[in-house]
Structure 1
Amino acid sequence: MTRPSVIAHRGYAGAAPENTVAAAVRAAERDETAMIEIDVQPAACGTPVVIHDERLDGARDGRPLTDASGLVRETAIETVQDARVLGTDETVPTLAELLEAVPDAVGVNVELKNPGADDLRFATSLSPDERDDRREVWTPFVDRVVAECDAFDGEILFSSFYEGALSAVRDVAPEYVAAALVWDDLETGFEIARRYDCEAIHPPRNAIAGTPLARTDYAGMPADEPAIDVVEHARDEGRTVNVWTIETWLQFDQLAARGVDGIIVDHPGLGAILSES
């Protein structure tokens, strides 16, 4: 069995304060880590910062995401950078700070979360009339993100649930690898991947046919056998399949057995049993 690449979700969010420099550095130190997945959006000044939630005052298992509050895109960069993550001394980094700390031997999956706007059309295939409009919304932020990524010598992969973001990436920096993130509609995910010639597709863990996971509820996908065999479909189209987000080694085992290319995981070591067998 070919071992899938391990992608550290927010720097192994189950083992470290997510999307922080410390999490990224620790993840990069592990031999198993092929890539680190992070989330980016702008502070009020437009500077790309690494944080998942739109608001600084989100929560994880009852603990505040940070000790600050408000929409990230409306908050001064100094306040964002001073915000402590999940009750630790780690703070919200800029994209530049995080990339500077990561060795170029490890890739970085930059998920484009928000360009600093509302009404982004989440996981939706846009009509031709909407595509130019949505690309224009995303382009200024994508310009800033690409400028930071250009200084990183390692592999960069851009991913997003938003068609406008992928359109902007292809327009601004077609030389980078791109991936369509899939929510509840596999047909739409592949349609968007084809439209922008995405090298990869990122489905949720229960979207992989022929696994027990396919019969569970997760994210936007129902507990039914998928109508599309994502792995076979992607192979036919020459796309890589990176699945999100795995919490146990049993889940990892199921997906590895189906031949996915990469697995986005919350905890390190989930693929160790496979590699030792």
Structure 2
Amino acid sequence: MKHLCVAHRGFSGIAPENTLAAFRLALEQSFVHWIELDVQVSKDGVPVVIHDFTLERTTNGTGRIKDSDWKELQQLDAGSWKNAECLGEKIPTLAQVLDLCHGRVSLNIELKTTGDMYPGLEKAVLREIMMREMQNEVVLTSFDRSALRRTKELNPEIRTGLIIDARPDDLAKQLEKLQCSFLSIGYPHLDRYLLRDLTGRGITVMAWTVDDCRIMRRLSALHPDLMICTNWPDRWEQAFLLSKRRMWHYIRKLIRFR
């Protein structure tokens, strides 16, 4: 299948998002080719994997990530909000996730920042990646264009991508100006023309976040190289692998009865 499956914050439909439990579950699915995750920095400079700028929704803590040091963050429960079985699941560091995924899947690492919220974020993330020689296994993405520019200044060779939930007329020019070879875009903005134009320019496109099998199949008809990001990778399997198996079963039956 060319429509690569991207597990959004891990297998977050079942496990608590952005935790090692969610990443391990995603890795158990043979058809998951990429995992998407979010990175911020603790008060003492440790890159941590969590989506919200504040702790309340996905942990039993309160306040902003940037105001807590790593020792405080690692004491929090980041699992029981999802289900009782995940009680005690922790906020992971980027280092832990990189070690877990190295050589197994590619990673779409979103730099969660805005403006000057996290001075040094890009440098800290790149340091962890380069220490493990994983630069060919990752793409660094962000809504924040300044973060993408800083990333390229620090390492011109690292792959970067813009995240956008819109469709400006000059999108291709914006990507070129940012030196981005990857686009993460809200799926309602996609059509065949845009995908043909961007892929023709060497841009890899990922649609987010798609949890409906029918929408997955509709998007797949737009272009064979489109990546599909989902909270439920098993639905990707239902949309593509299972339908493909049914097709081959039908073909074998036809051959057998000739």
Same fold (TM over 0.5): yes
Whether 2:26 is the aligned partner of 1:27: answer: yes
Q: Map 1:110-259 to 2 at 5 A.
A: 110-114=109-113, 120=115, 140-154=120-134, 155-187=137-169, 189-209=171-191, 229-259=193-223
Counterpart of 1:126 in structure 2 is none
Tell me which amino acid in the other structure corresponds to 1:274.
F
Whether 2:12 is the aligned partner of 1:13: answer: yes
Structure showing greater radius of gyration is 2
Going from structure 1 to structure 2, the CA distance change for 1:258 and 1:13 (only over 3 Å counts) comes to same
CA distance in 2, matches of 1:270, 1:189: 30
CA contact (8 A) 1:190 1:201 kept: no
Tell me which amino acid in the other structure corresponds to 1:55.
T
Counterpart of 1:268 in structure 2 is 233
SS of aligned partner of 1:271: helix
Going from structure 1 to structure 2, the CA distance change for 1:249 and 1:151 (only over 3 Å counts) comes to farther
Going from structure 1 to structure 2, the CA distance change for 1:17 and 1:139 (only over 3 Å counts) comes to same
CA contact (8 A) 2:26 2:35 kept: yes
CA distance in 2, matches of 1:9, 1:25: 13
Counterpart of 1:107 in structure 2 is 106
Instruction: Please list the CA deviations of residues 2-37 of structure 1 after superposition, one character each: whole Å capped at 9, or x if unmatched.
Output: 531111100021121110112112212211111110
SS of aligned partner of 2:235: coil
Counterpart of 2:252 in structure 1 is none
Q: Map 1:58-137 to 2 at 5 A.
A: 58=57, 65-87=58-80, 88-114=87-113, 120=115
Displacement of 1:96: 0.7
Counterpart of 2:250 in structure 1 is none
Counterpart of 2:247 in structure 1 is none
Q: Which region of structure 1 is more displaced relative to structure 2, 137-146 or 169-178?
A: 137-146
What TM-score, normalized by structure 2, do the two folds share? Answer: 0.84
CA distance in 1, matches of 2:216, 2:103: 26
Q: Which runs of 5+ in 2 are unaligned?
A: 81-86, 245-258
Identity of aligned residues (%): 26
CA distance in 2, matches of 1:200, 1:250: 25
Displacement of 1:153: 4.8
Displacement of 1:99: 1.2
Tell me which amino acid in the other structure corresponds to 1:270.
R
Q: RMSD of the TM alignment (CA)?
A: 1.9
Instruction: Please list the CA deviations of residues 42-61 of structure 1 after superposition, one character each: whole Å capped at 9, or x if unmatched.
Output: 11112110000000012xxx
Instruction: Please list the CA deviations of residues 71-122 of structure 1 after superposition, one character each: whole Å capped at 9, or x if unmatched.
Output: 00111211112221141321101111121122412111110002xxxx62xx
Instruction: Please list the CA deviations of residues 166-211 of structure 1 after superposition, one character each: whole Å capped at 9, or x if unmatched.
Output: 101111122221111112343464343111221111110101126x
Count of equivalent residues: 233
CA distance in 2, matches of 1:160, 1:274: 29
CA distance in 2, matches of 1:230, 1:84: 42
